[in-house]
C-alpha cells in the first residue's frame, strides 16, 4: 500500500480510505469489523466516519459507526498512532435546537461525544459535514481552532462545500490567524465530475488542500452491477443511481470503463478508483464495501496506474464540458 500526503500537511495516509457509512447499516458489526481488520492488515491506515452514521437506518440512532470503530481498534490492540481517524460534525445528533449545525456550542458538544464513541483522546481529521448557512464561518473556525490548540483535533477539513464557501473559509482563517481547512471531501467520480472540476479542483490544487472523494464508484453504478438491458438490482441506493446515471452518458462511461478493465483483467470498480488516483491532487478516495468480497475488489486498485491511452478513453467518455 502506498501512502500520500494530505494536502500541505505532513500527515501521510493510505491511497485508499476506509469509509464507514455502511457500518451498522448494510454491514452489521461483525462484518464491519472483519472489513476494517482486513483493511488494516492490507495497509490502509485511513478511516473516515461521521457522528450521524447511519442515523437514517432503522434502529440506528447515529454514532453507531464511530462506536464500531472504537470497539474495533481497542479490542484488536492496535496502537492509536497507527491509525488516521477522520470524523465529521454538522448533522442532527439529538432533539434539541443546538443538536445540529456548526455553532460553537454544537461543535464542542459533538466532539466530546465522538471522542467517547471512538474511544480516543484526539481526532486526526475533524471535518464539517456540510455548510451551515446559519452560523458565521468565523464562529465555526474559532471553535475548531480551540480544539486544535487543546490537542483534541490534529487537522480540520470540509465536506460538500462549493468553491466560494471554501475560499471564504480560507480567507477568514488567514485574516484571523486561525487553523484552516486542510482537506476537502467532495462528491467526485468518473460519472460525477462537474461538481468538483468546475471550480473546486483548481482551488484545491492552488491552495494545497487534500482531496478525499466520496462516492468514487457512483453509489455502485461504476461496479458494473447496473446494466441497460437488465432489471435494476434491489439496493438502498438504486433510486438515486437510476435517476442520476441511467442516461446515455452514464452507459457510455460504463462501456469505456469495461473496455479498459478488460485490457487489464481488472474490474470496472478498480478502473474507476484508479482513474481518481491518476490525479496527483487526489489524496485518497473513500471506499465503502459492505462485505469482504467488495473490499478485496476495491483493494485491487491500490497501486494501479493507468496508461495515457487508457485515461484518454475514460476522459473522452466521461467529459462534461460543452464543446
Can you give the residue range of the structural domain that contains 73? Answer: 3-221+276-305
pLDDT on residue 322: 52
In a domain, 228, yes or no: no
In a domain, 264, yes or no: no
- Among 3, 53, 122, 161, the one annotated catalytic: 53
- Of 91, 84, 83, 15, give the one whose Cα is nearest residue 50: 91
In a domain, 237, yes or no: no
- Of 27, 41, 212, give the one whose Cα is nearest residue 124: 212
- Of 80, 84, 88, give the one whose Cα is nearest residue 10: 84
What is the overall mean pLDDT for the chain?
95
Cβ–Cβ under 8 Å, residues 254 and 222: yes
In a domain, 241, yes or no: no
In a domain, 319, yes or no: no
Rounded average pLDDT per 10-residue block, the chain, 323 residues: 95 98 95 98 98 92 97 97 98 93 98 98 98 98 98 98 98 98 98 97 97 96 87 73 91 97 97 97 96 97 96 97 54
Whether this prediction's pTM lies above 0.85 is answered by yes
In a domain, 88, yes or no: yes
In a domain, 320, yes or no: no
3-state SS, residue 244: helix
245 classed as catalytic: no
Residue percentage of the chain with pLDDT more than 90: 91
The CATH number of residue 52's host domain is 3.20.20.100
pLDDT on residue 236: 64
- Separation between Cα atoms, residue 36 and residue 60, nearest integer Å: 20
Tell me the Cα Rg of the chain: 19
3-state SS, residue 291: coil
In a domain, 203, yes or no: yes
Q: How many domains does the chain have?
A: 1
pLDDT on residue 323: 34
- Separation between Cα atoms, residue 19 and residue 86, nearest integer Å: 10
- For the segment 285-295, what is each residue's pLDDT rounded down to a tens digit? 999 999 999 99
Amino acid at each position: 500500500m502506498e501512502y500520500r500526503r494530505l494536502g500541505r500537511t505532513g500527515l501521510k495516509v493510505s491511497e485508499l480510505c476506509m469509509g464507514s457509512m455502511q457500518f451498522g447499516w448494510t454491514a452489521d458489526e461483525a462484518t464491519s469489523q472483519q472489513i476494517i481488520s482486513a483493511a488494516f492488515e492490507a495497509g490502509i491506515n485511513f478511516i473516515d466516519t461521521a457522528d450521524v452514521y447511519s442515523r437514517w437506518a432503522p434502529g440506528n440512532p447515529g454514532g453507531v459507526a464511530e462506536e464500531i470503530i472504537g470497539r474495533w481498534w481497542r479490542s484488536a490492540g492496535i496502537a492509536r498512532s497507527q491509525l488516521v481517524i477522520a470524523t465529521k460534525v454538522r448533522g442532527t445528533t439529538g432533539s434539541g435546537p443546538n443538536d445540529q449545525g456548526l455553532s460553537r456550542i454544537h461543535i464542542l458538544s459533538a466532539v466530546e461525544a465522538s471522542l467517547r464513541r471512538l474511544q480516543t483522546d484526539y481526532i486526526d481529521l475533524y471535518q464539517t459535514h456540510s455548510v451551515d448557512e446559519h452560523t458565521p464561518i468565523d464562529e465555526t473556525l474559532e471553535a475548531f481552532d480551540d480544539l486544535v490548540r487543546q490537542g483534541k483535533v490534529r487537522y480540520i477539513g470540509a465536506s460538500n462545500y462549493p468553491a466560494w464557501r471554501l475560499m471564504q473559509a480560507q480567507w477568514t482563517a488567514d485574516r484571523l490567524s486561525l487553523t484552516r481547512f486542510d482537506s476537502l471531501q467532495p462528491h467526485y467520480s468518473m460519472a460525477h465530475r462537474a461538481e468538483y472540476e468546475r471550480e473546486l479542483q483548481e482551488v484545491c490544487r492552488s491552495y494545497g488542500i487534500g482531496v478525499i472523494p466520496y462516492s468514487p464508484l457512483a453509489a455502485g453504478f461504476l461496479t458494473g452491477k447496473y446494466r441497460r438491458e437488465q432489471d435494476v438490482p434491489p439496493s438502498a441506493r438504486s433510486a438515486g443511481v437510476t435517476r442520476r446515471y441511467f442516461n446515455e452518458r452514464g452507459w457510455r462511461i460504463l462501456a469505456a470503463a469495461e473496455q479498459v478493465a478488460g485490457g487489464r483483467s481488472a474490474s470496472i470498480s478498480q478502473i474507476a478508483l484508479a482513474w481518481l488516483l491518476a490525479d496527483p491532487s487526489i489524496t485518497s478516495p473513500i471506499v465503502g464495501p459492505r462485505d469482504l468480497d467488495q473490499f478485496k475488489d476495491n483493494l485491487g486498485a491500490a497501486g494501479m496506474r493507468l496508461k495515457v491511452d487508457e485515461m484518454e478513453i475514460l476522459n473522452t467518455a466521461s467529459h462534461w464540458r460543452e464543446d
